[in-house]
Amino acid sequence: MLILGIETSCDETASAVVEDGKKILSNIVASQMDIHSKYGGVVPELASRRHIQNIIPVIQQSLETAGISLDDVDGIAVTQGPGLIGSLLIGISTAKALSYTKNLPIVGVNHIEGHIYSNFLENDDIKPPFICLVVSGGHTDLVYVGEGKRNYEKLGQTMDDAAGEAFDKVSKLLELGYPGGPIIDRLAKEGNPKAIAFPRPYVWDHDFNFSFSGLKTSVLNYLLKEKSEGRIINVADVSASFQSAVVDVLVEKTLRSAQTKGINTVAVAGGVAANSGLRKRFMERCQEMGYKLYFPRPILCTDNAAMIAGIGYHLLKDNESNNSYNMTLESDAIKEFL
pLDDT tens figures, 78-124: 999 999 999 999 999 999 999 999 999 999 999 999 999 999 998 88
Q: What is the mean pLDDT of the chain?
A: 91
Measured between alpha carbons, how far is 284 from 288 in angstroms, rounded to an integer? 6
Give the confidence band of 332 by pLDDT, cuts at 50, 70, 90.
very low
Q: Same fold for the domain at 2-115+301-335 and the one at 127-297?
A: yes
Q: Which CATH architecture is the domain 2-115+301-335 placed in?
A: 2-Layer Sandwich (3.30)
Q: Give the residue with greater pLDDT, 182 vs 32.
A: 182
Q: What is the pLDDT, as a whole number, of residue 149?
A: 77
pTM, two decimal places = 0.89
Q: What is the pLDDT, as a whole number, of residue 328?
A: 41
Fold of 127-297: Nucleotidyltransferase; domain 5 (3.30.420)
Q: What is the pLDDT, as a whole number, of residue 122?
A: 87
- Average the pLDDT over 147-162 and give the result: 90
What's the pLDDT tens digit per position in 234-248? 999 999 999 999 999
- Average the pLDDT over 60-84 and give the result: 96
Give the confidence band of 202 by pLDDT, cuts at 50, 70, 90.
confident
Measured between alpha carbons, how far is 114 from 5 in angstroms, rounded to an integer? 11
- Average the pLDDT over 200-229 and give the result: 90
Residue 206 confidence (pLDDT) above 80: no
Q: What is the pLDDT, as a whole number, of residue 33?
A: 80
Residue 326 confidence (pLDDT) above 50: no
Domain assignments of the chain as residue spans, ordered by start: 2-115+301-335, 127-297
